[in-house]
A and B are shown apart, each in its own frame.
Chain A
Amino acid sequence: MLLNSDGVRAPYAEYQKWFSQEDAARLTRKSKEAEAFFRRTGITFNVYGQAAAQERLIPFDLIPRIISNREWTKLSKGIAQRVRAINAFLHDIYHRQEILRAGIVPVELISRNEAFLPQMIGVTPPGRVYTHIVGTDIVRTGEDDFFVLEDNARTPSGVSYMLENRETMLHMFPELFSQIKVQPVSDYPKNLRRSLAACAPENCGGKPTVAILTPGIHNSAYFEHSFLADQMGVELVEGHDLRVVDGHIAMRTTEGYQVIDVLYRRVDDDYLDPLNFKPESMLGVPGIMDVYRAGNITIANAPGTGIADDKAIYSYMPDIVEFYTGEKAILKNVQTWRCSEADALKYVLDNLADLVVKEVHGSGGYGMLVGPAASKKELASFAAKLRRNPSNYIAQPTLSLSTVPIFAKKGLAPRHVDLRPFVQVSPNGMNITPGGLTRVALKAGSLVVNSSQGGGTKDTWVLED
């Protein structure tokens, strides 16, 4: 299945059998059908700054990415370990800060970090869960060589594509799923609701009310917010639907105000509360931080969680994992140069053409430099930016990422991919959905998989062995 000379990788064997008997014309037709299906169901995302193409589809590739149960078991162990460490790290950072005292993470990295929220000092969310939903970005360079690229512990998105991609595949190729045993992903919304309900404040009497907070229909991920609310059977609220009533957060319903116990917010920290953070924010709820600190609402993920998935902190993750779990990190980190350090900066500037440089707080593939793909002019202007504000950047080598096949115009073609499995955390434990979102760089040779930069997605199969 892989176009390498070493033939078909084992997990793909069954699929390959099916594929080799398929007619290319039928698959091309199916591929078009999938697009029409996505348009009709409205699975779109908004691209900022493009009025004409306000709602765009993420291209979907119909060849699944297949992972064996053995590979998955190892991967999920590694992810669980990492997520445990992240929650422990967050509790520590907002309480005794043992890890700083131990000199493992430098103090300035926390104290001068925008993602660190002083308002969170001393706050302990129910069950000590700070990051309730995590989407760890994984890449692979070879058999069993998994690297974590990003931890995405604040507000990971993309889970709706994981679910819809599977629905689409089931719809298009039902016969495949009777031939090949693939672990289901469809329980994600139901499990998420349970997981979040289990994180309700201790003083919540009765069945907790969960709601999703969205910035509104113009947000790039609005489809996902409404999709999740629908699948979970919870209300989708905006800031102006909410207010503080008797020390609780309540939503305005047709019958008056109703208290919310757990708010799964898809609004960034800065915009969450105009009284406590950005005063001009129209997206948040004035006073929600005070309600939160009083223990009358659970916010998922907790404010201030970004301190754990910041790209500068990332480079310390192996030490962080070891510090809190007493174990070696199962998943590897990509080598990272912190441009805030003079030696590292020098190395990065000298080798810019071979490196990937990212903003410490960036996301969505915006503001990053892919050295090997950049022109001389781009390199020079990026170098200037780097010199002006070195601590805003980290750099990583371009890995020789593994590829998987896509269904291209001229038949199968290899493309680079990453994988974002989704983790739910509650006091009752951790739940990692077998699969995740596989993002694929559709341009030959490209390493950038972000949907905002023209990447596509695939269904991700974890086999039942």
Chain B
Amino acid sequence: MLGKTAGGLYWMFRFLERSENTARLVEAGFRIALTRSSDPASEWKSVVTTAGVRTNYDAKYDSYSAASVVDFLLRDTTNPSSVISAMEKARTNARMVRTALTTEVWEAVNESWMRLKDVLKPPVKETALPEILGEIRRHCALVRGAMQGTMLRNDIYDFTQIGTALERADNTARIIDVKYYTLLPSASFVGSALDNVQWETILRSVSAHRSFRWLNNDEMTPATVAEFLILDSRFPRSLSFCSRNLEDNLNFLAKDYGVRLPCHDMIDAQRDKLRHHTITSIFDEGLHQFITEFISDNNAIGQQIEKDYRFIG
């Protein structure tokens, strides 16, 4: 496979994942902003921070209102991480690597792009927001479904999974990073309404509020929430799950190509770290520091993969 094609597949799926994650962040923000106990401006601010677009946002707006944050994150083409920009980039990458995709996958991404471009053309009315967010998620699921159902399980597939896993891990880690203070046992008033809302928001922004309850008997404490997001290998957006997914797919490549590369050592190191930690040891070491390191390791692995598999010349 061409290095460029591997890169195109990787980025196509990173951007697809990003647009879905951004939609989910907006959804969680929208909900928490509606609760009386919260301070909407500070919630929208943390949504913008989690999306990693604070600098761009602050350059354009003076305050954090629902309307401007939603507009910026969903349909602003000057924001490179907005849903519409990410979809556009996913589709451009898909066009570039079209020969590596099945017709079903290409049509799914092309159709999604056409539809979302239409839907996000006029400013988003608050009443229409839930429906639009649902539409975004449905379209991302459509592409993923087409891929699961039609693509060969070869190196092409591996690179799409690698892109997805890295982006997803980055997203979950950034959510924890921005909200880590609400997860610190010392800072929390266990059981207070505010904390419950905060944790609920975190879980919602990774679509996990139901599965968390299911698995934890509704025992919502900082430790159980953090453990779920970081270490629970059953939850498809936990750091541990993403990391294992990344490891699996990098190993498939190593087997397929018959060669192990520096990125394999890096993922091994990350896996070891996650395996040897418990949630207690993470809190002892410092949650913030742990997450910051994870984000930086994750980025470094991504860059090493680009180099090892010759995405660019």
Contacts and interface: CB of A to CB of B under 8 A. Distances in A.
B147 to A, nearest CB: 17
Interface stretch (A86-94, A229-237, A320-328): A229-237
Interface in B1-20: 1-6
A253 interface: yes
A217 B92 contact: yes
A241 interface: yes
Given A222-B95, A240-B313, A253 B1 contact: yes
B180 interface: no
B78 to A, nearest CB: 16
B3 A254 contact: yes
A240 B3 CA distance: 11
A226 B155 contact: no
Contacts of A241: 2-4, 313
A21 interface: no
Interface in A439-462: none
Contact of A254 (B1, B99, B106, B110): B1
Interface in A34-66: 39-42
A226 B6 contact: no
Contacts of B6: 254
Contacts of A236: 99
Contacts of A39: 114
A253 B310 contact: yes
Given A253-B3, A254-B155, A226 B310 contact: no
Contact of A42 (B2, B5, B95, B310): B95
Given A235-B2, A253-B1, A254-B1, A40 B310 contact: no
A99 to B, nearest CB: 41
A166 interface: no
A42 B106 contact: yes
Contact of B309 (A217, A222, A235, A254): A254
Given A39-B114, A226-B98, A235-B2, A252 B107 contact: no
B104 to A, nearest CB: 11
A226 B95 contact: yes
27 contacts: A40-B107, A40-B110, A41-B103, A41-B106, A42-B95, A42-B110, A217-B92, A230-B99, A235-B99, A237-B4, A238-B4, A240-B4, A240-B313, A241-B3, A241-B4, A243-B313, A251-B2, A252-B2, A252-B313, A254-B1, A254-B6, A254-B155, A254-B253, A254-B257, A254-B309, A255-B259, A256-B310
Interface of B: 1-6, 92, 95-96, 98-99, 103, 106-107, 110-111, 114, 155, 253, 257, 259, 309-310, 313
Interface residues of A, number: 22
Contacts of B155: 254
Nearest to A255: B257
Nearest to B109: A42
A267 to B, nearest CB: 16
Contacts of B103: 41
Contacts of A251: 2
Given A40-B111, A235-B99, A254-B6, 9 more contacts: A41-B107, A42-B95, A217-B92, A252-B4, A254-B2, A254-B253, A254-B309, A254-B310, A256-B310
Contacts of B92: 217
A237 B4 CA distance: 9
Nearest to B308: A254
Contacts of A229: 99
B2 A237 contact: yes
A54 to B, nearest CB: 11
